[in-house]
Amino acid sequence: MDSLLVKVPYRVSDKPVVSGFDQDTPPLGIYTLKAYLKKYGYDIKACHVINNKDLLDLKETIKLKSPKFIGLSATTYEFIQAINMAKLCKSINPKIPIIIGGPHVSINYEEALKYKEIDIVSRYEGEETLKELLENYSNGEFTNLENIKGIAFRKNDKVVVTPNREYMDLDEIPLIDYSEINRNRYKQQGVLITSRGCVGRCIFCAAASGVFGRFRERSTQNVFQDMYELYHKYGISQINILDNSFTVNKKRTHDVCNLIINNNLPIRWNCETRVEGVDKELLTLMKKAGCYSIQYGVESANDKTLANIRKGTNIKTINSSIELALEVGIEHICCNFIIGLPGDTVQTLEETFEYMRKFKASKRVHLSVSVLTPYPGTYVYNHAEDIGVNILTKDWKRYNGMDVVCETNELSAKIIREIYYKAYNEFYVTSYKEYI
């Protein structure tokens, strides 16, 4: 076996959950890497560890197949679990190199390499990096690591960082093979990413930090072809589009929708986007093409707070985009709000909650609340002191959007926590009760 790719779990549990980090969708990252490497003839296994059976399968694969290397994928709140997973893998076969990738270690590669179990960090996009690592692996070791872009590794007790890799042509990445995935374990079986990066510059967002590269899109025909295959090859009619902002290029969105309609493709799909990325004409076409749910990152109903976080919009545009989605018949409009943003006060948050109450009774508008989380690489993380944010801990497992890990000049951690619990119970629980 050339490589074993592992999606690190937020938790390992045999109990199903109503809604959770690990059981909503297949882990697109590792399956995309697998599809790309298989295109070049490599023998790759992807393993999504959710329960104890998965853990046993992982251990058996390492013992019986002895992959050339193990690749771990982890976000910030999964980082400590990733280190524990690396220790487990090394305990089974200490000779197998372990490579870790993901947005957290792309920024914090030195932290990752402090752990002896981690041999190489794959920074930013991993497809070509892993391919080159396989090409430069022979006789049980890697060669020419200094010439492989996009990695960090230890050499003579020093960390070596190679130059960043050029951005990929996203059309070169094939659709993942759903025949190899137990789709029954996921709530949303079909997942697609049709772009990487984001045009926004929100101070709290990893996409805006450049972790995912500059904003790039797959071609219209490439996107439609994947949708067509999902339905006709795998029988998947509901698709979750995981782009940060699917409709930013309105012409491309128009073209994709028209291809769906003109080819009578009977799919339903959802997406996330920015409020300024839609208008009535586009939303009407999206509805006709099968869009049943749209998610907006609203964050706040206070224009000054929106300016503080560089949201690039205002409450008038936000309100219009929500109302238009309701008007054209989109079934679910999901609106995300953040508590504890720089400049927010008890009064501005109450202004936001009053705005949210306008939609509280609606069966079609679903309200989500989280707390400000300064992920590594974001503007709020790099400039915390400058914008009045005090980061209280770097216990990464608490960086989940629910635990309070920072406070601001205006709001203490205690107050943020109290407001969050109150808002969660008023909006999130009641809003999602029937939706989930």
- Residue 63 makes CB contacts below 8 A (sequence gap 6+) with 92, 93
Could you give the CA distance from residue 209 to residue 200 in angstroms, rounded to a whole number?
10
Please compute the mean of the pLDDT values over residues 351-358 and round it to a whole number: 96
Of residues 277, 283, 297, the one with CA closest to residue 327:
283
Local confidence band at 344 (pLDDT 50, 70, 90 cut-offs) = very high
Please compute the mean of the pLDDT values over residues 362-373 and round it to a whole number: 94
Could you give the CA distance from residue 17 to residue 9 in angstroms, rounded to a whole number?
14
Please compute the mean of the pLDDT values over residues 126-139 and round it to a whole number: 94
For residue 54, pLDDT beyond 50: yes
Local confidence band at 50 (pLDDT 50, 70, 90 cut-offs) = confident
Local confidence band at 19 (pLDDT 50, 70, 90 cut-offs) = very low
For residue 347, pLDDT beyond 70: yes
Count CA atoms closer than 13 A to 112's CA, side-chain side.
34
Could you give the CA distance from residue 277 to residue 275 in angstroms, rounded to a whole number?
5
- Cβ–Cβ under 8 Å, residues 239 and 192: yes
**Residue where the block lists tokens 């059976």:** 53
- What pLDDT does residue 256 have? 98
How does pLDDT run across 146-179, given as a tens digit for each residue? 999 999 999 998 999 999 999 899 999 999 999 8
Q: How large is the angle between the packed helices 346-357 and 413-423, nearest 10 degrees?
A: 10
- Lowest average pLDDT, out of 13-17, 158-162, 328-332, goes to 13-17
Which of the listed ranges 190-194, 224-228, 425-429 does the model predict with the highest average pLDDT? Answer: 224-228
How does pLDDT run across 243-281, given as a tens digit for each residue? 999 999 999 999 999 999 999 999 999 999 999 999 999
Q: Which two tokens stand for residue 245?
A: 């902002």
Local confidence band at 9 (pLDDT 50, 70, 90 cut-offs) = confident
- pLDDT over 90, % of the chain: 81
Give the mean pLDDT of the chain.
92
For residue 432, pLDDT beyond 50: no
For residue 209, pLDDT beyond 80: no
For residue 18, pLDDT beyond 80: no
- What pLDDT does residue 429 have? 55
- Cβ–Cβ under 8 Å, residues 37 and 192: no
Q: Which two tokens stand for residue 27?
A: 């882990």
Local confidence band at 207 (pLDDT 50, 70, 90 cut-offs) = confident
- pLDDT over 70, % of the chain: 94
- Cβ–Cβ under 8 Å, residues 275 and 313: yes
- What pLDDT does residue 200 have? 87
Cα separations in angstroms, 376 against 75, 83, 104, 125, 373: 10, 17, 7, 17, 9
Q: Which two tokens stand for residue 101?
A: 């990738």
As a whole number of angstroms, the longest Cα–Cα distance in the chain is: 65
HEC string for the chain = CCEEEEECCCCCCCCCCCCCCCCCCCCHHHHHHHHHHHCCCCCEEEEECCCHHHHHHHHHHHHHHCCCEEEEECCHHHHHHHHHHHHHHHHHCCCCCEEEECHHHHHCHHHHHCCCCCCEEECCCCHHHHHHHHHCEECCEECCHHHCCCEEEEECCEEEECCCCCCCCHHHCCCCCHHHCCHHHCCCCEEECCEECCCCCCCCCCHHHCCCCCCEECCHHHHHHHHHHHHHCCCCCEEEECCCCCCCCHHHHHHHHHHHHHCCCCCEEEEEECHHHCCHHHHHHHHHCCEEEEEEEEECCCHHHHHHCCCCCCHHHHHHHHHHHHHHCCCEEEEEEEECCCCCCHHHHHHHHHHHHCCCCCCCEEEEEEECCCCCCCHHHHCCHHHCEEECCCCHHHCCCCCCCEEECCCCHHHHHHHHHHHHHHHHHHHHCCCC
Of residues 134, 164, 151, the one with CA closest to residue 38:
134
Could you give the CA distance from residue 406 to residue 395 in angstroms, rounded to a whole number?
11
CB neighbour burial string for 349-379, b if at least 16 within 10 angstroms, e if fewer: bebbbebbeebeeeebbbbbbbbbbbbbbbb
Local confidence band at 434 (pLDDT 50, 70, 90 cut-offs) = very low
How many residues belong to the chain?
436
- What pLDDT does residue 407 have? 97
Could you give the CA distance from residue 6 to residue 70 in angstroms, rounded to a whole number?
7
Please compute the mean of the pLDDT values over residues 209-226 and round it to a whole number: 86
How does pLDDT run across 95-127, given as a tens digit for each residue? 999 999 999 999 999 999 999 999 999 999 999
For residue 376, pLDDT beyond 90: yes
